[in-house]
Chains A and B, each alone.
Chain A
């Protein structure tokens, strides 16, 4: 009897906890990572990523932003603090197929057509061909490449390959999109176009959260509504800057307000 009552109470507590964190996709509480060699990669990182948020991590090389990503994806484990993703451990969260990834390299399979590349995450899950094709049509339309389903990656330009890579990430309708310096290998003009497209895709899907790594402060301010500024040795959060939601257009890019955020982020980088 006692134990059952205890179970009910624990159950209720869990339900309450769940409701509290329902809108928080990632919760980091004093998370740290120390390598076996004794190197401190990151220390004392506390932050949350809410539903529909666009959060950027900006900082120089070695500030631990990639380590944070690797911990969230489960490629690495944190050595201190608490980290929950989608209300569970990173590794279990990944099993739900609600997290998607875009890397600095496009990581497309050179021997597969664009459509096969885009639907690869679905194919690995055993989704039927008909469903896969529908999904591919939707996301390729979204990135403006629906006429290229049969092409091979090498026939596309760098910017187009990155679009395909983004389409592949969106194909499973993720709740959380992790992007690790996705536009770093692109030229400035393509980079701006893709930034605009990313913002428009994100603002259409109110529920998708984006975590975006960059070392470009400008990019961080333009894209995100929360900027996590990080400093190295050891990697830690220097400041979290909120950028209120507004139209991310040419006007915003050239406004005095934009410059203020830019300056604030740059200041924080020097701490």
Chain B
């Protein structure tokens, strides 16, 4: 008994101990293999392409891509910023509406049975088929692009949240029932917190999809000029055969997707690390 108590006290103390310096070292150690691979890959690309004398418009070297990015710096940054805006707004809409409608569906089996199949159907229609209709309905520009982003990133959040809300531990929900918890209390205090790991999984899938959605949207519904976003820049660069700049845009899009994912991942860690297995060390 005494040993048990001491053991747990130590455990609690350990959790609270600040480890910031160690953490930095640890982060470097974990990131090191990935960085090494990146450097080797870029160097290999650069060397092989220049040795074989491959033309710029077939496969540009990393240094060519970097040059092209610098040459079009103003345009590129503007395009990136536009894409960030559109994907974040679309993503936030899908979080609010995705989680919100999942809660509605989870409240009643009848609602779930009547609406959920249509959500699945909506998900299976290819976005390139819907996009032109959306442009016809609400016109080209940011509204259409945000809508397309939303449609792409909505479903993973809806379905993950719904699974989470429906997989509450039976004993726990019995306990809430026996202590006369109202349906509202059960949702707020039990089902939503229990679904949080699932919601986070949905957010992680959707955040990368949101960037893809925004770029597809810009591709189809983008407006010209500086506010076209990365999707528009890609179409322009391809049409003008500016292959290094095309690469720069593509890479920027993927960096954007990765950063977006890392931010959501950090948020997920913050929300779950104290209690859920998936985010513990």
Contacts and interface: CB of A to CB of B under 8 A. Distances in A.
Given A124-B185, A193-B1, A107 B8 contact: no
Given A103-B175, A152-B274, 20 more contacts: A95-B180, A97-B179, A101-B175, A101-B178, A103-B174, A107-B169, A107-B172, A109-B190, A109-B193, A111-B193, A111-B274, A120-B179, A120-B189, A121-B179, A124-B185, A151-B12, A154-B275, A155-B11, A157-B7, A160-B4
B4 A124 contact: no
Contact of B175 (A99, A107, A153): A107
Contacts of B169: 107
A124 B172 CA distance: 14
A87 interface: no
Interface residues of A, number: 30
A35 B196 CA distance: 36
A217 B184 CA distance: 42
- With most chain B CB atoms within 10 A of its CB, the pick from A110, A147, A193 is A110
B108 to A, nearest CB: 21
A70 to B, nearest CB: 9
Given A111-B193, A152-B275, A94 B178 contact: yes
Interface residues of B, number: 27
A234 interface: no
B58 interface: no
Given A109-B190, A152-B274, A75 B8 contact: no
B174 A160 contact: no
A120 B181 CA distance: 10
Contacts, number: 63
A251 to B, nearest CB: 21
A109 B172 CA distance: 8
B276 interface: yes
Given A107-B172, A152-B274, A157 B178 contact: no
A124 B179 contact: yes
Nearest to B176: A124
A155 B15 contact: yes
Nearest to A110: B275
B234 to A, nearest CB: 43
Given A111-B274, A152-B274, A103 B171 contact: yes
Nearest to B179: A121
A4 to B, nearest CB: 36
A29 interface: no
A111 B275 contact: yes
A156 B8 CA distance: 6
Nearest to A158: B4
Contacts of B189: 109, 120, 123-124
Contacts of B275: 110-111, 152-154
Contacts of B1: 193
Contact of A107 (B12, B171, B274): B171
